[in-house]
Amino acid sequence: MKTAIIGGYGKMGRWIAGSLQREGHDVVIYGRNREKLEIAARENNAVCETDLKKAVDSAGLIIVSVNIDSFEAVIRQMAPFLNDGQKVIDI
């Protein structure tokens, strides 16, 4: 299953990315900081993506791992790209 982690280069996002990858998920990490994304992706054998639409496209599971101050803005940005059947969770 493709799993997108929004904000996946933070402490929790990185941990979840590694855990899911070990369980066989194809993990995509999204964030705005390319350097941090590349480090987190390399550590977790994941794909890094700076385009939100591409990150969530065809993901069966989307995990939002951003701080509370950014949460609402991220959800609003992501909403137009979501499809029926996708599961979105916040951690």
Question: Tens digits of per-residue pLDDT, 43-78?
Answer: 889 999 999 999 999 899 999 999 999 999 999 999
The per-residue pLDDT of the chain, averaged, comes to 93
Q: Across residues 37-41, what is the average pLDDT?
A: 89
Q: Rounded to whole angstroms, how far apart are CA atoms 55 and 49?
A: 6
pTM of the model: 0.91
Alpha helix locations (H) across 1-91?
A: 11-22, 34-44, 52-56, 68-78
Is the domain covering 2-90 a CATH 3.40.50.720 domain? yes
**pLDDT bucket at 23, cuts 50 / 70 / 90:** very high
Q: What per-residue confidence (pLDDT) applies to 87? A: 98
**pLDDT bucket at 9, cuts 50 / 70 / 90:** confident
1 pLDDT above the threshold of 90: no
